[in-house]
Amino acid sequence: MEFILGGLLTSIGKLTFLIIYCLISPLINANERLLKNKYFGVTQVFKAQVFSAPNLQSKVLTHLNKGEKLTVHPKHFKEEEIINKQEDQEIDQFENKQGFYQVITQKGIIGFVEKKYVHLIYSDFRDQQYHFMINPDEDLTDYRLTEPLPPNYPLAKKNSYRLNLQANLGPGFDNNYVFPKLIKKERFSNKYGAGVTYLKNATFDFEDRFYFGGTLKFLTFRNKFTLTDNSTYLEDHLAITIGPSLYYESVRLKGISISHGIELSYIYRLAEIDGKSGSLSEKRKFIGHMFEPSLVNQVIFKNTKKKIGFLAGMRISAQPKYELKAKKPSKERELWGNRDGFYELEAKLFQTYFIGFQVYY
């Protein structure tokens, strides 16, 4: 009887021990996991970026919300692992908030977070003495607008300006003075010059594509002619244009844009002709004024950091028919023939190519 009773008590004791072990075993395992993952921190900003490498130019893997817990590499907690100055830049000391922490997010993403956005949980005196709190007014990750909203929001827009500097080159004009003899030899040079365009964005355009302003440019070229009687004429041409411009940006990518423009220019045109025939020689100036419309297409390669862009394009202009008038009557009429006093220019389309720079401000 005593043997049976003793066996029963032994069985009850084993059962009780098994039940107690089953109850406390999860607590022991949880405590072990907690000790293994004791190196963690808490984000202190609205949206902390997790980078793929410890620099701001690397890829952003994800964002962490304010108050989100994340595992931090143990090297950021152990000051004794700091061996040299270079390593001191990579391993955090509790009073230093420069650089990055190597972390693992709750979703298992491994990356780097700026130290100034994370508070480490040291579980010692440092949590009280050096508790890190970011100033809400300096939270650069918080893109939300505060109340009250700015006046005219969201329709308020910022003025922006563009200064365009160009070098121009194009085929020469094949016009010439109506000489008294037939032309035996002729040489037309290319026209070249420079221009500047100043533009401001249109207030009605909230996509920032329409720009208007003004353009100032000049072109010059030289033509030379030899007539059948061996007389020679050297023509020096100068055109100074100024007028309003309207541009529309049709394509806008990260580093390139394409725009189209309309220009209506007032032109001051000067042709100086130096005629020589035997012992006769005379230099005369012919002057004219006109209006000329132009279509412009240009491509701009932008450097957004330096707010400057390289541009290349083409300008197509419509020259109307008009006459330049001599500034003074001729002294040697044999050199100028029946059209003495007038230099006639034909109506035509001509193109000019340009390259240059555009500054944004």
Give the percent of the chain with pLDDT over 70. Answer: 76
Phi, psi of 283, deg, nearest 5:
-115, 130
What's the pLDDT tens digit per position in 167-204? Answer: 999 887 778 888 888 999 999 889 999 999 999 998 88
Please check the confidence at residue 72 and state whether its pLDDT lies above 50: yes
Phi, psi of 82, deg, nearest 5:
-80, 115
Tokens, residue 77: 């907690």
Per-residue confidence (pLDDT) for residue 24, from 0 to 100: 53
> pLDDT class for 10, splitting at 50, 70, 90?
low
> pLDDT class for 131, splitting at 50, 70, 90?
very low
> pLDDT class for 137, splitting at 50, 70, 90?
low
For residue 167, CA distances in Å to 96, 170, 182, 227 come to 53, 11, 36, 34
DSSP line for 18-76? HHHHHHHHHHHHHHHHHHHT--EEEE-SSEEEEESSSSTTSPEEEEEETT-EEEE-GGG
DSSP line for 220-272? EEEEEEEETTS-EEEEEEEEEEEEEEEEEEEEE-SSEEEEEEEEEEEEEEEEE
User: Which element (helix H / strand E) includes 355?
Assistant: strand 348-360
Per-residue confidence (pLDDT) for residue 155, from 0 to 100: 59
What's the pLDDT tens digit per position in 277-335? Answer: 888 899 999 999 999 999 999 999 988 777 899 999 999 999 888 889 988 888 888 88
- Per the omega criterion (within 30 degrees of 0), is the bond before 154 cis? yes
Domains along the sequence of the chain with CATH: 40-138 (2.30.30.40), 161-360 (2.40.160.20)
Q: Which of residues 55 and 124 earns the better pLDDT score?
A: 55
Per-residue confidence (pLDDT) for residue 40, from 0 to 100: 83
> pLDDT class for 110, splitting at 50, 70, 90?
very high
Burial class (CB in 10 A: 0-12, 13-18, 19+), 231: buried
Please check the confidence at residue 83 and state whether its pLDDT lies above 60: no
Please check the confidence at residue 136 and state whether its pLDDT lies above 90: no
Query: What mean pLDDT do residues 193-219 have?
Result: 90
Sheet holding 110-114, edge to edge: 60-65, 47-51, 110-114, 100-104, 69-72, 40-43, 118-121
Q: What distance lies between CA 326 and its chain's CA centroid?
A: 49
Half-sphere exposure of 268 (CA within 13 A, CB side): 6
> pLDDT class for 347, splitting at 50, 70, 90?
confident
353: left (phi over 0), alpha (psi -120 to 50) or beta: beta
User: Which element (helix H / strand E) includes 102?
Assistant: strand 100-104
Taking the C-alpha atoms of residue 265 and residue 279, their distance in angstroms, rounded to an integer, is: 42
Per-residue confidence (pLDDT) for residue 215, from 0 to 100: 94
Taking the C-alpha atoms of residue 92 and residue 95, their distance in angstroms, rounded to an integer, is: 8
What's the pLDDT tens digit per position in 36-52? Answer: 456 788 898 888 999 99
Taking the C-alpha atoms of residue 100 and residue 41, their distance in angstroms, rounded to an integer, is: 13
Per-residue confidence (pLDDT) for residue 274, from 0 to 100: 93
Per-residue confidence (pLDDT) for residue 121, from 0 to 100: 80
Please check the confidence at residue 88 and state whether its pLDDT lies above 60: no
| Contact call for residues 142 and 45 (beta carbons, < 8 A) | yes
Per-residue confidence (pLDDT) for residue 342, from 0 to 100: 86
Non-local (6+) Cβ contacts of 279 within 8 A are none
Please check the confidence at residue 151 and state whether its pLDDT lies above 90: no
What's the pLDDT tens digit per position in 265-288? Answer: 999 999 999 999 888 899 999 999
| Contact call for residues 63 and 50 (beta carbons, < 8 A) | yes
Per-residue confidence (pLDDT) for residue 91, from 0 to 100: 45
- In the numeric block, the tokens 């693992």 are attached to 104
What pTM was computed for the model?
0.56
